[in-house]
Amino acid sequence: MLHDTVVSTESGGAKDKKNPNVDTESDAAKQTDHNGDAGDIPNEESSAIKNKKRHQRWLRIAVYVVSVLVAQSAATLLGRQYYQEGGHSKWLGTLVQLVGFPILLPLYSIPASKKKFATNTVIHNQEQPPFSKLALVYVTLGLIVALDCYLYSVGLSYLPVSTFSLISSSQLAFNAFFSFFLNSLKFTPYIINSLVVLTISSVILVFHIDSPSASTQVSKQKYVIGFICTVAGSAGYGLVLSLTQLAFGKVFKRVNFKVILDMIIYQFLVATLATLVGLFASGEFRGLQAEMKEYRTGKASYVLNLSFAAITWQVFSVGSVGLILEVSSVFSNVITVLGLPIVPILAVIFFHDKMNGLKVISLFLALWGFLSYTYQQYLDETNSQPQHRNSDALSRDSLNGVSEQVENRTV
């Protein structure tokens, strides 16, 4: 059959040489519509479809970005309001961040994407990892996430929400630090600059202890505890990101949207169970009913506050997963950090936090570190694109060479 195809192609070529006008007339016919107007109608339709799909994709990305920024800000403010209006339970504040994960389950109905997720690893074996390895990854990361959320709850209960958010921006620096050891991240000048600037941005807030805030009145000791817990929580979040990247490269043999969704769902499931154990083991569950009665704005407000906090955290998760699906995990993390400086501005409006000179300096340093880190990611993406194009070209050339050899042998 291959021989017949080659012969037919050659004979067709001979006919074309004898009748050069055939192709010209055929092309003219293709480029003329029923009104006699020139134009390649199929190409125009194909281009219109591609433009429509491109616009729909960017619309989805915009929706996901807005979801991340709005939900993250709202969830943080609702968490602070819970403590400001009379809430005391750190474990309940942790549970609210995790318990809404079932809202992600409908995402499994999304058709499998053809998009490949790069893990910076050459894949030699595409077999499913053994259950023991998967369980170890999910349980380890889930326990770290539970501890991380608890530390954030302690920090949010003792610190003004603006200070809390500014310190949390250091998660980028911790992510780069852990990735240096776990994922062989190269320390470029922009990464080093981001590390130094974000560290200074957090450290200078230590000197903010004596400044009272309208949203929280705590002792110096509790302020220091909140500061340490928030820094530790940011470090834990950076560690989770680095370990997740390591797991994608070393444990999972192929990375797609389902694998990413599995990672998030099972992490949250383990973290939720661990938080429930902490809630009951600590005895805090005994005081929840009295806490609800003593809540300053009433029982209904208490329930609504916690419910909307849980929902907004999962809207944030949906937006993050959507950005991973449409763009990349790096872009999702960058958008997450971009939303942190928004919270201090909202805290001034809703909680009347004071933005003194140190906080303003910390805010600008956080933005500087964020831009430095983002620019390095942009350079990495730009440099990787020519490599992908070259590899694709080499693959096409090799395939063409093989097909030519097969045709020559058959002929």
Instruction: Supply the DSSP symbol for 32.
Output: B
- pLDDT value at residue 324: 73
Whether residue 169 contacts residue 235, with contact meaning beta carbons closer than 8 Å, is answered with no
Rounded Cα gap, residues 70 and 181, in angstroms:
33
- Per-residue confidence (pLDDT) for residue 387, from 0 to 100: 55
Tell me the two tokens of residue 336: 């997450």
Residue 233 pLDDT: 95
For residue 159, which phi and psi values (nearest 5 degrees)? Answer: -110, 150
Token match 């928030």: residue?
Answer: 230
Residue type, 349: I
Taking the C-alpha atoms of residue 282 and residue 285, their distance in angstroms, rounded to an integer, is: 8
- From CA 178, how far away is CA 182, in angstroms rounded? 6
Residues in CB range of 368: below 8 A, 6 or more apart:
197
Angstrom distance (rounded) from CA 369 to CA 200: 10
pLDDT at 17: 43
Rounded Cα distance, 265 and 262, in Å: 5
Report CA dihedral (155, 157, 159, 165) to the nearest 10 degrees. 60
**pTM for this structure?**
0.75
Q: 210 in helix, strand or coil?
A: coil
Block means of pLDDT (10 residues each) for the chain, 411 residues, are 40 44 45 47 71 84 90 92 92 94 86 51 58 94 96 93 86 85 86 86 70 60 92 92 86 80 92 97 93 92 94 88 73 76 83 80 86 82 63 49 49 49
pLDDT value, residue 108: 87
For residue 319, list its beta bridge partners. Answer: none
- pLDDT of 320 reads 84
Please choose, from the candidates 57, 61, 107, the residue with its C-alpha nearest in 3D space to the C-alpha of residue 261: 107
Q: How far apart are the first and last CA of the chain?
A: 11
Instruction: Provide the pLDDT for residue 338.
Output: 77
